[in-house]
Amino acid sequence: MEGYSEYKDSGVEWIGNIPREWDIIRVRYLCDINTGNKDTVDRNDEGAYPFYVRSPIIEHIDTYSFDGEAILTAGDGVGAGKVFHYTIGKFDYHQRVYNLHSFKRVLGKYLYYFMQENFHKEIERSNAKSTVDSIRLPMIQDFVITFPSSFDEQNKILLYLNHHTAQIDTLLTNLEIQAIMLETYKRELIAETVTKGLDKSMPMKNSAVDWIGSVPEHWNVTKIKWMFEIVKRIYGNEDRDVLSITQKGIKIKDIESNEGQLAESYTNYQVVNINDFAMNSMDLLTGWVDCSKFEGVTSPDYRVFRFFPSKPQAHNYYKYIFQMCYTNRIFYRLGQGVSNLGRWRLQADQFLNMRLPQPPIKEQEQIAEYLDHKVEKIEGLISDINTQIEKLKEFRKIIIHDAVTGKIKIKVTEG
């Protein structure tokens, strides 16, 4: 697709050159902007109208203060800088949500497309930060957009973008569904294999534990405290690697980067040795557990445990079981605390008295080896899908950017 015959410098680095006949104007001259006058206390789950609290959070309310087409963006929080297009209808909005409306010289959907991929990045550049904490009104007012003065040409661009982004969005949805299905299959495969074994012809017995169900007749079902011991060994020095428990496993923390949460001192951290298990027992919703491949220290608030020396088992088999207890919310339902504040904890006595399957060690090793192979293949497929998703998202951004900055000329209306 060819471009326009003549271009001019937009004066904005990330926009680059634009068609000579196009306009470049600040948002303040193209629409009205205001914030709502409601707070979260005004919401009502049974309310008849949408209530825009913070992007992408939409709740309900009894009242409405706006009826029509609008572009909305949160002034702070996770959704700050992300824009949403509301076509026609009644809604209300939070006092920290900006409403762009009553569009002049530019179609609302065109402005939405322009801001969708560019506004958040421009705010980041303005703040010289990697994330946006808050947006002030002048940031929106002074944001510049480029557009053809003709509504007919704007409409052609919209039809082109509607058509192509819809195609891409369909592909993205299908890929995301595939990734979710693979994640579900992986989770179910692990749960089935660690509780039922590899030989489905084996006679079974009731484990008397609801989440385990039936197990092979020759397996034991044993309390954690008969296999594992909790160990807390304060190291007292700072010459060991600091270990973080992430949902991708135990990692060595880069304490020189000043990223993430850093402690003033690590002398009160506890020892973690190779093959020790460590878990974030304070947050059963987003925490994790892993079997360490490293020597190091970790937070004294975490739980470190290991097999009794006289009762060795297969580390990888129990790693799969413990991680399943996070993904399937088995730990979560045994916890206590304040879950909405991320303080849903599994107390030591509840943990130690949990009952787990205990196959013969040879079977534990076979199950772990089988799952290692299967999980690697599934995660490889998921990784390939995620790569495709990222490429499609990038392609979508390029299509929008090129169309709304005049890098391509839309000649044919596409349906």
**Confidence grade of residue 321 (pLDDT, cut at 50, 70, 90):** very high
Residues 366/153, Cβ–Cβ less than 8 Å: no
User: How much is the pLDDT for 55?
Assistant: 63
| Residues 75-98 pLDDT 10s | 887 778 889 999 878 999 999 999
Beta bridge partners of 34: 99
| Rounded average pLDDT over 327-350 | 81
Q: How many CB atoms lie within 10 A of CB 316?
A: 16
| Residues 265-306 pLDDT 10s | 788 999 999 999 999 998 888 899 999 999 999 999 999 999
Q: 222: exposed, middle or buried (C-beta count within 10 Å: 0-12, 13-18, 19+)?
A: middle
Secondary-structure breakdown of the chain: helix, strand, coil percentages, each rounded to the nearest 5: 35, 25, 40
User: How much is the pLDDT for 130?
Assistant: 46
Residues of the chain with CATH 3.90.220.20: 23-147, 220-358
User: How much is the pLDDT for 56?
Assistant: 64
Cα 151 from Cα 103, distance rounded (Å): 12
Buried-state track 173-189, b at ≥16 Cβ within 10 A, e below 16: eebeebbeebeeebeee
**Confidence grade of residue 340 (pLDDT, cut at 50, 70, 90):** low
Residues 93/65, Cβ–Cβ less than 8 Å: yes
User: How much is the pLDDT for 368?
Assistant: 98
What does CATH list as the number for 23-147? 3.90.220.20
For the chain, state the CA radius of gyration. Answer: 28
User: How much is the pLDDT for 252?
Assistant: 94
Q: Which CATH number fits domain 220-358: 3.30.460.80, 3.90.220.20, 3.90.950.20, 3.40.50.970?
A: 3.90.220.20
| Residues 138-168 pLDDT 10s | 999 999 999 999 999 999 999 999 999 999 9
Angle between helices 361-404 and 151-196 (to 10 degrees): 180
Residues ≥6 apart with Cβ < 8 Å to 71: 31, 83, 84, 85, 86, 99, 100, 101, 108, 111, 112, 115
User: Is the bond preceding residue 56 a cis peptide, omega within 30 degrees?
Assistant: yes
**Confidence grade of residue 415 (pLDDT, cut at 50, 70, 90):** very low
| Residues 34-68 pLDDT 10s | 999 999 899 999 999 999 987 667 899 999 999 99
Closest CA to 273 of 253, 288, 293, 290: 293
User: How much is the pLDDT for 34?
Assistant: 95
**Confidence grade of residue 121 (pLDDT, cut at 50, 70, 90):** confident
Task: State yes or no: pLDDT of 132 exceeds 60.
Answer: no
